[in-house]
């Protein structure tokens, strides 16, 4: 378990938090809960409720839809926000590939977290845009 | 066509990208929006150009074209140009008016100015795009 100062240092390296000054980062670090997952453990479960917004700090996760791997996420990646924003169960399984460390915001607390940190939300918006572009397909 | 601010706000409230936005935010957007008229076949946005506007179709229709292939048809209440406005990268497709078409146009600099002081607006954009990402993965799996 990292101390708060170490966690702030770690968060400051991530693109998601690049716009935050240290005092705001300290506030973020206090809000986030740290969790560890073992290899093969599911962090999010496709179609099941009980959600959170997760930011990956160490290790790698596999994103699987109907059992099929669609993507690998690494340090700095985030997931779980779509289900919360849309009020729907997660659209994919997210499974630890090796030992994984994340920080997370519980589903019900996400709206307040985002309202408090609009710069983080804007970084998330840019990442969504990147995902839509890289899909390179037209969908409404 | 000249719409009042209230009419513009009402139209914007029905666009999925702005769904659930508080009245004050809608009102502010409606005040920033300009009306743009296009004739049949006019380009609303062009593939490869860096975007400076997000458009919502008020009346008429549009076709989405990429590399000569028609990808989609859009009608009143549909939006276009949102990705280029957010990341200021080149447009992924062209959109042409089909018949006389009226759009509400939001300039990227106006939108960015709003974004700074209006977290609810960013939240609704994030939600709107999350919906699109989800549709993509659903289409992919079926």
Q: What domains does chain B contain, in order, with CATH numbers?
A: 5-137 (2.60.120.10)
* Cα–Cα separations (whole angstroms), residue A66 to A45, A70, B81: 11, 10, 32
For chain A, which residues score pLDDT lower than 70? 1-2, 50, 136-140
CB contact under 8 A, B134 and A86: yes
Domain that holds residue A82: 4-135
The verdict on residue A8 lying in a domain is: yes
- Tally: H helices and E strands in chain A: 5, 6
Q: Residue-wise pLDDT tens for chain B (142 aa)? A: 789 999 999 999 999 999 889 999 999 999 999 999 999 999 999 999 988 899 999 999 999 999 889 999 999 999 999 888 888 889 989 999 999 999 999 998 888 888 878 999 999 999 999 988 888 776 654 4
A126 contact residues in B (CB cutoff 8 A)? 86-87
The verdict on residue A42 lying in a domain is: yes
Residue environment code for A78-94, b if the CB has 16+ CB neighbours within 10 A, otherwise e: bbbbbbbbeeeebbbbb
The verdict on residue A140 lying in a domain is: no
Which CATH number belongs to the domain containing residue A74 in this structure?
2.60.120.10
The whole-angstrom separation of Cα A108 and Cα B134 is 20
Decide if A1 contacts A103 (C-beta within 8 A). no
Q: Tell me which chain B residue has its CA closest to the CA of residue A139.
A: B136
Count of the separate structural domains present in chain A: 1
As for the ipTM of the complex, it is 0.88
| Shortest distance, CA B8 to any CA of chain A (angstroms) | 22
The whole-angstrom separation of Cα B126 and Cα A5 is 30
Contacts with B, A 85-114, CB within 8 Å: 85-86, 88, 91-92, 111, 114
Give me the residue label for tokens 């957007």: B29
The verdict on residue A117 lying in a domain is: yes
Q: Tell me which chain A residue has its CA closest to the CA of residue B16.
A: A140
The verdict on residue A100 lying in a domain is: yes
């Amino acid at each position: 378990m990292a101390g708060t100062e170490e966690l702030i240092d770690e968060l400051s390296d991530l693109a998601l938090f690049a716009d935050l000054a240290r005092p705001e980062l300290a506030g973020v670090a206090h809000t986030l809960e740290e969790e560890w997952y073992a290899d093969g453990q599911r962090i999010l479960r496709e179609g099941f409720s009980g959600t959170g917004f997760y930011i990956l700090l160490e290790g790698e996760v596999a994103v699987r839809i109907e059992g099929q791997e669609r993507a690998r996420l690494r340090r700095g990646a985030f997931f779980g926000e779509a289900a919360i924003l849309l009020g729907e169960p997660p659209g994919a399984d997210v499974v630890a590939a090796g030992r994984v460390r994340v920080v997370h915001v519980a589903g019900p607390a996400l709206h307040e977290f985002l309202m408090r940190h609009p710069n983080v939300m804007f970084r998330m918006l840019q990442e969504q845009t990147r995902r839509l572009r890289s899909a390179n397909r037209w969908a409404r | 066509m000249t719409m009042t601010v209230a009419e513009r706000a009402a139209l914007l409230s029905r666009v999925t990208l702005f769904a659930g936005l508080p009245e004050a935010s809608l009102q502010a957007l409606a005040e920033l929006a300009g009306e743009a008229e296009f004739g049949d076949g006019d380009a609303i946005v062009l593939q490869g150009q860096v975007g400076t506007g997000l458009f919502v179709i008020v009346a008429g229709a549009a076709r989405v074209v990429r590399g000569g292939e028609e990808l989609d048809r859009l009608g009143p209440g549909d939006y276009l140009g949102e990705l280029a406005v957010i990341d200021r990268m080149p447009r992924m497709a062209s959109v042409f008016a089909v018949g006389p078409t009226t759009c509400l146009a939001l300039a990227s600099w106006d939108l960015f100015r709003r974004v700074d002081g209006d977290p609810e607006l960013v939240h609704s954009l994030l939600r709107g795009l999350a919906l699109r990402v989800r549709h993509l993965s659903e289409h992919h799996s079926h």
